[in-house]
Every structure is written in structure tokens, then in C-alpha cells.
Structure 1
């Protein structure tokens, strides 16, 4: 049963030592799987070639030793190979997305990943992704699973893992001390570099997300604006207000012709008497960050550090007695609509609008009269607020966001591997999504005009974030806010008021047009909507209402 000369010691003397599997996997991850990091270090303008090489070696050692230390905690008989496989797959996926789209991985990006639905996942799949995972994870994984691993008794395994952990940590401290000045300088001057350390960036982000319940109770929603009531404009009103809030997705303010873009992307809106803010900024660089923030009363600076979770804008509107409805053609409302009536249009089967596994945004206007009529009559008599959450210009498959009739700019990129596309074709595909958004907003205004006989309609369009289209080799969105380019943070904010709404609100389009260049942001959204609807509550701040200065007494 045993080899000649060996003794039955309760362990298997054949095969590779666990220590060497941990070391080899860590070195592979620290070197090959961190190409995005090495590429970025080589591009930093203040580093000479020699400095870049030195810092790359130092960071490579730091990543390898930190990975060895982490794996030593998990290197047990039944967990070793599965855990290393998870590390390899995580590193391969991180390497692909950082290399392909120029993104970094932080807490916000990880939240986006966790909340990605099937449609969004499908849009990201391509042969480059599969090839990267095969090369960086499948091949070393195949080698890993082919190896016979020496087994140790429990006591010896604990001792070996402890020694590995202590040794790795000691060497890690030594490397950091030797190269501290260089590493600290790079991390301080180029903060985005720390988010490229793969896959430790992903694990750190997951840990931060997991720690959130210890920072505040995520299961409890505290009430907000329970004192909300309707203002004087509702007294003996002839027509109740009807406000349609269009929540845009992935829209760059600079790509709207009405904001000065040199391509005719918004011909439909150009024919309407609208107000388009030229200097509007988002709360975050992703849907998961921006939507909860913009529907809250905290504002960007206070939102992440809020002591507890509270109800939001739509709850306050509902507390006031108004009828509220959320219509979603995206991946959900991120908690903003959890306590109000809502409709999901993503699974509808409307010919011409829902072909190819998803629905174009215009589907949200289908049957809208009936959806509103289904709301409580006593609330509808006071007023209605409807939110339409767009698919908009969601990438990377921009070409899927516009029907054939709205593809004004050709040829367009028809791949989700954006770096392989000619940039002109990429911009064409994205601009076509703006052309279709322009059509949707025009159709929404047309529908609102049909309601003028029985209501006072208005529309407010605001996007959640912008997008990078290859500038400085960045694609998509989701960069940490402090280092994100302006194109990911500057968003369109468009207002249309019917004559009836102007009359009841005393807010005129002519007055609003005098403040087109004023700095506004998602921080203003909560208070501006309450102001438009003349909802009085202690949580309303007139100073943050961008329409208040035009409200005539």
C-alpha cells in the first residue's frame, strides 16, 4: 500500500507541495493578470522608463506576497484548488474589463457588477472576453487541477499555513519599507492606480460592500416627509398636474445638439419650447450610485455617509396624496420605487418595439393612459407623477439602443468589443442612441399635449450619468467620482412645461431660459420636483430648487 521504505504517517508524500501551488498561482496573478496595471504605469507622464520598471517590480512583489498571504488562510485540503480557481477567474475577468474598457474596479463598479441583469451580461459577452478567460484562468486552472497535492496531517497543515502567512507578511512589510517612497508617491498622485491592482481590487470592493450592514442598518427604511401636503395651487384646481419624469440612462450632455453639439442628434426637441441646462452634473458615475442618490434628499456629499436609509422623493410625493407610478425599461429602480406602484416593460412582447430580446424605450408610452387610470381615483384627482426609466444609451452594445429608422449616423459599431471599433463608428452608434432618446422625448411631449384637456402636463428629463467613448482609452462609465472624466459626470437636464402647467405653477419657460448656464446637479433634483409639484414639507429646501427663482408669488 505504501512505497518501500516509507511509513504510514497519515499523509501522502507524493505530489506537489501546497506551498508551491500557492506561490505559482500568486506569481501568475501578480504578473500576467496585471497587464492593465503595468500598461498604466508605463503611461504615467511623471515616471521615467526606469522608474516605471522599478515601481512595477515593487508592486508585483506586493501583489504576489499579499496574494500568498491571503491564499495561506484558505489553503486547506478541500479548499485549495477551488479557491485558487476563484482567484484565477476573478483576475482574468478583471484583467479583461480593465484592458478592454479602461475601467477600474472599486466598490461602485462591484455594485454595478452584482446588479447586472441578464440583458446587460449578454451585451458584454464576446470572443475576446472568452479568449482572455481561457488564457488567464482556464489554462493555469487546467494545470492546477492536474496536479496531485501532497497531503499533511491537520497539525502540520496548520503549522505550514501559519509559517507561509508569517513569511509572506514579513516579506511584504520589507518590500513596502524598501519601496515606500516610490509606491506612496504614485498612489498619492495617481489615485486610480490603486483600483488596478488585480484581483485584490475586487476582493477589497466586495469586502467594503459586505461591511456596509455593520455601518448602518440596511434592512430598515426610516420615514421621510410624512408631513408632506399639497400647496395653494391645488385649491379649487381646474386641472390636476401631470408630471412625467424621464430618467435617462448613459447620456452625455455634450452629445445633445440642443446643448451645442455639432451633429443633429436632437431635431425633435429643437422644435419644442424647452429648457436645457448646459451645466448639470450627476451624483455618481453609474446607475447604482446615481439613482438612489438623486431620489434622496441627502445630496452627493452626504449620501454615502448617511446614518440610516430613508424613504425618498417618490415616497414624499405619495405622502402628499399624489398618484405616483414607476415604469421601468431598465434593470430596476435601485430602491427608489420600492414602495410605490411600478411596472416592468422589459419582458413585454410588443411587435416592432420588443424584437431581439429587449424592448425599445418607446414601449413605456404604450398603454400609458390605462396604467394611469388604474391608479387610485382620489389620488389622480389631485395630481399624477410618472417616472419612465430608460434603457437609453446603455453600453457597450450601443447599436442595440436605436431602431433602424433612427440610425442617422453610419456606419456604426456593431460590436460590444469597443476597443476593436473605429472610433467614428463607435460615436455613430452612441449618437444614434441619442437620436432615439430625442424621438422618445418628442413622443412623450406629444402624448402630454393630448392630456391638456383634463390636466396640466409637464416633463422633466434627467440622465443618471454620462459615458466615456474612448477618450484617453476609457470606455463605458463607473470610474470613481473623484477621478472620473467630466463626460461621465456631465448630464442633460431638460424641462418642458405646458401653458397650463406654467399658469398653475407661476413658473415660465422664458424665465428658466435665463439661467441655462447655472451650475445644477442631482443634488437639486429632489427639491426641484417637490417645487414643481408644489408639495410642502419640512424636508424641502427652496435654495436647492432650480425652478424656485422663477415661481411668481
Structure 2
């Protein structure tokens, strides 16, 4: 709105900027003010972006250990290096019609980045930028606050007013190109000079404080956007490589009395150290604890995610590749759902989040975004339990031939999505009080923030309890052999070391963002057909596993034979009877 307001001032520019000068004949004439050269605006803007536009970065460096003189030298050298680099970037853009819109965009980016780095300890890398691109209206709404407005006004408003105050003058194309080139060389020269003068200090700083390289405003966003475009566009231009083209249903499907029904719940932002099943002192999962006490639910306590944000973790979770093989990169292969569907099973994805990140594009899927269920939906958002509403009808609408073989349903939770944790739970499911009711998390007392977050886990516990009851009813009625696997996509920081939310680059992400909860429940019928031993699973519940095991564990549990299946990555395989290869079974029909 600020930019639009400033832009609108340009319409009245001839009326605002006039001067009266008497002519030789005594008549008054209008003389427009002289405009600025774009090149003359580059260095003032570069200095502003480098210094006020990077307050979180300077605060981080100023708070480091070491002598005052050393920290002052680091601050000065880094600031001059960034001034030169930003000046080079602005010089590239210093064309009369391009400069002001482009510079305005960089100023606003710097202001928004400053807010999120200050309030949440966020850093801007390619995966974080991809998250921003994928953000929906609900997530944007949760991030709006008065402190965000104040930061934008503080960081962006003064230079925007100065930038748009007077018109720009134009040179000939060749002259402008020469001036721009000179500006680029001058900026790069200053950056190179400071890099050489402070190489040892800056190299040590970047090596020991990796997060700082993602805090340099607005160069971090320029780099992230460029890297993301270079990575994704070539891959999107090519079709995904097929996976499991040889997928066939195993021997357990031959003359089966009941088809399997497996529910995969993809959790959101749940951290394992706040799960009561994993030793947390508070009762965040009392319902799951009851299921565990009955001997039917297995908890996996040492599970780590593939990424620290949904954009990476969800595709990686369903990928045939491990993280080391590139499962955390932009997908180039089909995924688990494609293989299950190719084998002849019915697959359904239900989403109560910001989308499946491409995972469900080739299978039946539905979103809760437009639902308005009383008691379960309010303010344009639904609680996770809404995914159970009409679930029988959704399954019944799937292809009947596939349903007769078996069904896999994926439920993508809203879960513990922040920062507005208090919105994720209805008033009737808030056992921990008082809770933080602000999306500016640093404004809340630590205990209230934890209460709000723990309430989201307690509601996930309630949602999983409802889902398990539904699955148990299906099993007891004799309609299906049922099972459930719950696994969160990544964890969350709640103020530890000044970090909030998630998305820290994986190489230095804290344990709170990568250690995630996972549970599995299997009906007697599903255990029998898969040959799984509950005692064995419980004994191995503390074995270290990761998202890398999910693709192969689900294929093994659903008895899908394919060369894409790797037994070594099937977390359930050590507790299962030997798989029967069913090469003689006929491929599924086109249905």
C-alpha cells in the first residue's frame, strides 16, 4: 500500500513540483525541477540497504565473542563489502524506467526480511524462498502484525519517499550503459577490496557462523530466487522420471478376504521432544498413550526429518531417493503415491494445509480450503478433524476395482503450524493455559508460548484418536484390514537460541527442527497379512530411522513388489515374515 500511495503521487507530479520565475516580459512561466540521474541514487540507496537494512545481521555480529576492536572491524568491513555488492546490483538496474520499481522492491524485501529475522530468527535461503512462493493466504494472514508494519515503515518508508520524490533524468542508451557499467565495476571493486583486506576475519566468521551468509539483506533473497529458478525451471521443463513401472501387488492379495486400508497422516511442525510418548513430562498425547498401553500402537522415538520445512520435507518423505541421493531437492522422479496407484491400489490425498507440494498431482485429491463445517471450520480455516467428515463417502467415490484391491489415504494436517498456534485448536481442546494468542512470538512469555504449542499437539492426539477409532470400527466390521502411520514433516523452534518457527538450513538446523514423532497402529488383520510382530516392533521402536525409510516401509507394509523397493530401508522389514515374490500375479487392469 505504501508503494501504491507513493506511485499515485507521480500522477500529480507536474502540479506539485513547479516554480514561478518572472520572464523578461513579466509573465510567470512554469519550470519543472531538474530530475536526478539514476546513477546518483545508487550509492545512497546501497548504503541504506547495507546499514539500516541489515540491523539483525549487525546485532548478531555485535553480540559475538571477541574484543570490541575486532567486532568493530568486522562490522565496518562487512558493511562496506555489502555496500559495494549492493551498489553493483543497483547499477545493473539503473535504467530510468526500471530503477525505481526495482529499487523499491529491494527495499520492501529488505524490510520484510528484517522483520522475520528479528522476530523469528529466520534466515533466507533457497528453500525458505520456495516456502514463501508456496505460501497461501491463510499463512500470510497469520504472519501479519503491527510489528511487521512498524518494521516496514522504519526500514523502507524513508528511502522510498526519497526515491520517488523527484523524477529521473534519462541519457542516451549507450551513455546509460557506460555509466551503469562503471557503477558495477566500482561496486565490485569496493567489495573485492574489503574482501581482500578482511579475508581471514570474514572467512572465519562465515565458517563458524554459517547462518550469517543467509542474513545479508537483500542479497540473500536475490541469491535464493536466482538459485531456486536455476534449479527448478530446467526440471519443470522435463517430465518426471517414472518409478516402479514393474510394480505389482504381492501374494497377500491373492483371494484376500478383506482389502487393506492404510491411513498415512503427514503431521505438521510436531517436534518429538514435546510428545509425551517420547518422554515429555506434560500429557500432550494421552489418547495415544492409551492405545500404546493396550499393546496395539508402536512409538518410534528416534526419527529424523529430511528437511526443516514443508516444501522440502513432504516431497522428500514420499520420494524413492534418500536425502543423500537428492530426495531433498526439487523432485525429478515420481513418488510413493504413483507406485501405489500403478500397482493397482486406490489412493486418496486429503489436504488441510497449503497443498501437497506436487506429491498428489497424479492421484485423486481434495482440499478442505472451501469447506464450512460448523464447529470444525472458522475464519476460513478448518481444524484437522474435518478430514474425517464424509471420509467413507470419499473412499466410496474412488474407482471400485482399485478399492476392491486396497486403499491408501493420506491426510496432510494443519497440525502445529505457526506462528498463530492458538488458531490450530478449538476452544474445547486447550488443556494448557494461559496460552500465547499473538503471532509475534517473542512478545509472549515462554510458558504461554509453550502452552499454545502443546495445545496443538494435544489436538493432534485427539485427531489421531478419532482416526484410530474409525479404523478400528472398519476392522471390526470385517470390511478392511486397517492401519495407520503418523509421521511429522519437520519440527519447530520455540525460542531456543533466539529461533522461532522452522526453516533453518539443514546443515546447521537445531535438533528441535529435525527430531520428529512417529507412531504406527496395525489391526490384527493387517499384521497377519503382512506377517509383522508387534513385540518385535515395540522392541525396535528406539532404532534410529528417518524420512528415508518411509517410501520403502509403506511399500513393504502394503505388499507391493517392485525393483524400486529396498528392504534395507524398510523400517518394518526386520519384524516381518519373508516377503513372497508374486511374479506370477497378473498386472492390475486399467481400472
Please say whether Structure 1 and Structure 2 have the same fold, judged by a TM-score greater than 0.5: yes
User: Aligned in 2, Cα 1:63/1:231: closer, same or farther, shift over 3 Å?
Assistant: same
The one of 315, 326, 329 aligned to 2:349: 326
Residues 13 and 150 in structure 1, CA contact (< 8 A), matched pair in contact too: no
Which residue in 1 is equivalent to 2:150?
131
The one of 209, 223, 240 aligned to 1:221: 240
Which residue in 1 is equivalent to 2:60?
40
The one of 450, 453, 467 aligned to 2:473: 450
Residues 315 and 328 in structure 2, CA contact (< 8 A), matched pair in contact too: no
Residues 217 and 308 in structure 1, CA contact (< 8 A), matched pair in contact too: no
Alignment of 1:347 with 2:370, yes or no, is yes
Which residue in 1 is equivalent to 2:81?
62
Q: What is the distance in 2 between the residues matched to 1:158 and 1:101? A: 41
Q: How does 1:31-110 map to 2 (within 5 A)?
A: 31-45=51-65, 47-110=66-129
Give the secondary-structure state (helix, strand or coil) at the position aligned to 2:185. Answer: helix
Query: CA offsets, 1:206-228, max 9 Å, x none?
Result: 00011114654544112110111
User: Aligned in 2, Cα 1:260/1:386: closer, same or farther, shift over 3 Å?
Assistant: same
Q: What is the distance in 1 between the residues matched to 2:479 and 2:400? A: 14
Give the secondary-structure state (helix, strand or coil) at the position aligned to 1:491. Answer: strand
List runs of 5+ in structure 1 lacking aligned partners.
5-11
Residues 466 and 477 in structure 1, CA contact (< 8 A), matched pair in contact too: yes
Q: What is the distance in 1 between the residues matched to 2:506 and 2:331? A: 22
The one of 120, 131, 136 aligned to 1:117: 136
Question: How far is 1:497 from its partner?
Answer: 0.8
User: Aligned in 2, Cα 1:355/1:239: closer, same or farther, shift over 3 Å?
Assistant: same
Give the secondary-structure state (helix, strand or coil) at the position aligned to 1:451. Answer: helix
Question: How far is 1:167 from its partner?
Answer: 1.6
Q: What is the distance in 1 between the residues matched to 2:108 and 2:63? A: 27
Residues 349 and 409 in structure 2, CA contact (< 8 A), matched pair in contact too: yes
Which residue in 2 is equivalent to 1:360?
383
Query: CA offsets, 1:202-247, max 9 Å, x none?
Result: 1000000111146545441121101111111112211111100001
Residues 347 and 359 in structure 1, CA contact (< 8 A), matched pair in contact too: no
Question: How far is 1:43 from its partner?
Answer: 2.9
Give the secondary-structure state (helix, strand or coil) at the position aligned to 1:385. Answer: strand
The one of 463, 470, 486 aligned to 2:495: 470
Alignment of 1:518 with 2:543, yes or no, is yes
Give the secondary-structure state (helix, strand or coil) at the position aligned to 1:411. Answer: coil
User: Aligned in 2, Cα 1:343/1:305: closer, same or farther, shift over 3 Å?
Assistant: closer
Which residue in 1 is equivalent to 2:15?
none
Residues 222 and 308 in structure 1, CA contact (< 8 A), matched pair in contact too: no
RMSD across aligned positions (CA):
1.8
Which residue in 2 is equivalent to 1:539?
564
Residues 493 and 500 in structure 2, CA contact (< 8 A), matched pair in contact too: yes
Query: CA offsets, 1:258-289, max 9 Å, x none?
Result: 11000001111111031111100000000000
Q: What is the distance in 2 between the residues matched to 1:271 and 1:2? A: 92
Give the secondary-structure state (helix, strand or coil) at the position aligned to 1:238. Answer: coil
Give the secondary-structure state (helix, strand or coil) at the position aligned to 1:438. Answer: helix
Q: What is the distance in 2 between the residues matched to 1:40 and 1:298? A: 37
Give the secondary-structure state (helix, strand or coil) at the position aligned to 1:242. Answer: strand
Question: How far is 1:309 from its partner?
Answer: 1.1
Residues 469 and 475 in structure 1, CA contact (< 8 A), matched pair in contact too: yes
Query: CA offsets, 1:21-68, max 9 Å, x none?
Result: 1111111110011011111112334x3332222111111111111111
Q: What is the distance in 2 between the residues matched to 1:141 and 1:307? A: 36
Give the secondary-structure state (helix, strand or coil) at the position aligned to 2:378. Answer: coil
With 33-42 and 541-550 compared, the bigger mean Cα shift is at 33-42
Number of aligned residue pairs: give it: 545
Q: How does 1:276-291 map to 2 (within 5 A)?
A: 276-291=299-314
Residues 66 and 168 in structure 1, CA contact (< 8 A), matched pair in contact too: yes
Q: What is the distance in 2 between the residues matched to 1:122 and 1:3? A: 57
Alignment of 1:29 with 2:49, yes or no, is yes
Which residue in 2 is equivalent to 1:9?
none
Q: What is the distance in 2 between the residues matched to 1:3 and 1:103? A: 60
Give the secondary-structure state (helix, strand or coil) at the position aligned to 2:366. Answer: strand
Query: CA offsets, 1:140-171, max 9 Å, x none?
Result: 20121113434433333222222211222222
List runs of 5+ in structure 2 lacking aligned partners.
1-20, 25-31, 579-591
Question: How far is 1:306 from its partner?
Answer: 7.0
Q: What is the distance in 1 between the residues matched to 2:280 and 2:330? A: 41
TM-score (norm 1): 0.96
